[in-house]
């Protein structure tokens, strides 16, 4: 049986940077706090925990004082920086530059649209760490939509400034913006609507979709490795399964089932932007054991 690991899968730049900053600090000190899971992959979180990384939530963060805290790639709302200042917390800011640029654009867009009674709409997963940071730039007033079913949250008689969470699918974003445009035109009875569309999807993430489509077509069976919390993982898994129905989702090698590989001569292993390379390699080794058993 041939087993291939997708060279385009694995950590994106933002995650690589956050992990490198964490490891650099832990080489000097035994302990470092991290606000939220450094990456949506339990295996990688556990690996760093053994090195001394302590994950805290936002409530626990408020009680910390005189220490160092890592901010992960997802970005944080302004409130987090205020708390750090008040509690003498030294921040190691690993916020992804793409996310920081998006936060700034949303803040500018919100301030401008607020003056003319408009709305900032964010296409993303409500409650997701990145989305919380984006909504924070609007004092909590941005409207979050997960898809077409949430469009009733928008007032189509008012101006709309649309943004997207960086890891959402391009297809989904274009579908949403097209429907918003149509509903605004119908509601206002004119083609001359005040609708600004900001395609803020990270291309390093979005380019993986066509790459994955090509990869999964080459194999009889595909094993997609990702943490269950990863929004990007769920989205990319669906891309793989659409192209190859013999695609299976696992978080670790122990979840593999022997029957998946019956009559398979070629197996592809791939993953999300939050999936470490070492974990995909472990899965590939386990598949090789199953093939030989």
Q: Give 276 or 170, the one with higher predicted confidence.
A: 276
Active site includes 130? yes
Amino acid 116: pLDDT: 82
Mean pLDDT, rounded, for 95-119: 90
The answer, yes or no, to whether residue 39 has pLDDT greater than 90, is yes
Instruction: Please report the pLDDT score of residue 293 as a whole number.
Output: 77
pLDDT, tens digit, for every residue of 234-269? 889 999 999 999 999 999 999 999 999 998 999 999
**pLDDT tens digits, residue range 156-185?**
999 999 999 998 888 899 999 999 999 999
Mean pLDDT for the chain? 94
Query: Around Cβ 288, how many Cβ atoms within 10 Å?
Result: 13
Full-model pTM: 0.87
Least confident span in 72-76, 91-95, 166-170: 166-170
* Structure confidence by residue, pLDDT tens digits, 179-221: 999 999 999 999 999 999 999 998 877 888 899 999 999 999 9
Residue 117: is its pLDDT beyond 90?
no
Q: How confident is the model at residue 114 (pLDDT cuts 50, 70, 90)?
A: confident
Q: Which domains does the chain have, with CATH numbers?
A: 2-9+206-292 (3.40.1010.20), 13-96 (3.40.50.11270), 98-201 (3.40.1010.20)
The active-site residue out of 130, 243, 255, 281 is: 130
> Per-residue confidence at 229, pLDDT binned at 50, 70, 90?
confident
């Amino acid at each position: 049986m041939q087993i291939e690991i997708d060279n385009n899968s694995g950590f994106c730049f933002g995650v690589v940077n956050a992990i490198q900053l964490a490891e650099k600090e832990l080489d000097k000190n035994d302990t470092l706090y991290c606000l939220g899971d450094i990456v949506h992959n339990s295996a990688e979180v556990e690996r760093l925990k053994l090195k001394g990384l302590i994950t805290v939530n936002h409530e626990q963060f408020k009680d910390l004082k005189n220490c160092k805290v890592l901010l992960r790639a997802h970005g944080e709302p302004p409130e987090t920086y205020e708390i750090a200042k008040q509690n003498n917390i030294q921040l190691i800011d690993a916020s992804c530059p793409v996310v920081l640029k998006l936060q700034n654009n949303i803040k500018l867009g919100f301030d401008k649209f607020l003056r003319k009674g408009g709305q900032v709409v964010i296409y993303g997963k409500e409650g997701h760490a990145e989305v919380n940071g984006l909504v924070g730039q609007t004092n909590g007033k941005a409207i979050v939509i997960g898809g077409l079913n949430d469009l009733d949250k928008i007032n189509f008689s008012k101006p709309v400034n649309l943004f997207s969470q960086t890891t959402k699918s391009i297809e989904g974003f274009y579908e949403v913006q097209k429907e918003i445009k149509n509903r605004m035109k119908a509601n206002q009875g004119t083609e001359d609507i005040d609708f600004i569309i900001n395609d803020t999807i990270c291309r390093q993430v979005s380019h993986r979709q066509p790459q994955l489509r090509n990869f999964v077509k080459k194999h009889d069976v595909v094993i997609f490795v990702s943490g269950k919390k990863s929004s990007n993982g769920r989205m990319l898994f669906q891309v793989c399964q659409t192209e190859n129905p013999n695609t299976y989702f696992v978080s670790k090698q122990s979840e593999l089932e022997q029957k998946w590989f019956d009559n398979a001569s070629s197996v592809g292993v791939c993953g999300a932007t939050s999936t470490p390379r070492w974990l995909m390699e472990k899965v590939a080794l386990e598949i090789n054991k199953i093939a030989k058993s």
